[in-house]
Amino acid sequence: MADGLQTRTILPMKGKADPVPRSNQWVYELKWDGMRVLAFVLRGRDGDANQVRLQSSNGRDITNSFPELQALAPLADLFDGLVLDGEVVAFNGAKPSFNTLQTRMHVTDPVDAARRAQHTPVLFVVFDLLHLDGHDTMLLPLSHRRALLEQIGDDDPCWTICEQHQDDADGLLQAVIDSELEGIVAKNINSTYQPGRRSPDWIKVKPRLRQEFVVGGWSGGKGGRTGRLGSLLVGYYEGGELHYAGRAGSGLTDTDQAEWRALLVDRGPSPFVAQPTFPSDMIVHWSEPTEVVEIAFGEWARGGHHLRHPVVLGRRTDKDPKTVIRET
């Protein structure tokens, strides 16, 4: 196997949220509503079989979660090790669905994962190549990395290369809006791959605001939710401190409420740097800020510090809470 790839961790490059840049220095890709995954494809030695190791964006080994991606292993017959960066996507009909992916992304038992793969298969959408045939490619410009990636081919149903658009960003964005997809990513063709960095060389454009938040507690429900978890109390890090961003309860099913309540570890004081205020009749419980949730929302309100119309999309086990910042 290629030296070092068996145990190596590469934190993925991330983009910043900004308006669409327009020039011949930029290319445009769909932003897939999935889970960021790095695939390490390793050639076997001394009669051993080729291996595929999967890593989440926070460095966790998630190989067991997506057994169908072992179909990448034959690539190691052609190259002595490669590392692919992309997004694992599940579909609801013809549309990518993060909700559908929730049934796959938290599974660690190999038998359970194999069973779920039969019912809810995933597609690995690859958009970058970080290592090839014993050599890192991260210092090459994106245009060169892309050319190498396209030479690998994508002839298996479990994975594909993300389509790249050279122009007409506005047309692509309108198609995203019309199809109710997540957004687009603009990428500078001259940019190197910058592991672990949120870089201005990649720009995320989302028609509807959405991002990850850290869960710092929960409030009790009312009406039909009395006595149970009603809303998550969420925030983001800035300057090493956790700032409160609001409550989010819409989108939580009865099952979600029970699962979140079981996950959250109670603590005494608030984890937020400034004490939030709540209605006098609201029961609030603080928790350790160890869980991350993805939320869609309408806008920032009340001086730009609180969410309006938030909707819970799902848990993000692939995100390190300490890296969660305000994106817009």
Q: Give catalytic residues, as residue numbers.
A: 31
How many Å apart are CA 136 and CA 129, to the nearest integer?
9
Q: What is the DSSP string of 200-268?
A: EEEEEE-SSEEEEEEEEEEEEB-GGGBTSEEEEEEEEEETTEEEEEEEE-TT--HHHHHHHHHHPPB-S
How many Å apart are CA 57 and CA 36, to the nearest integer?
6
Q: How far, in whole angstroms, is CA 10 from its chain's centroid? A: 15
Show the CA angle centred on residue 173, arms to residues 184 and 195, nearest 5°.
15
Phi, psi of 113 (to 5 degrees): -65, -40
How many Å apart are CA 230 and CA 151, to the nearest integer?
51
Q: Are strands 284-297 and 241-248 parallel, antiparallel or unpaired?
A: unpaired
Give me the long-range contacts of 221-225 (CB less than 8 A, separation at least 24).
221/249, 221/257, 225/257
Quick one: 199 exposed, middle or buried, by C-beta within 10 A (0-12, 13-18, 19+)? middle
Residue 318 and residue 60 in contact, taking contact as beta carbons nearer than 8 Å: yes
Please, what is the end-to-end C-alpha distance for the chain in angstroms? 42
Phi, psi of 225 (to 5 degrees): -100, 10
Residue 321 and residue 261 in contact, taking contact as beta carbons nearer than 8 Å: no
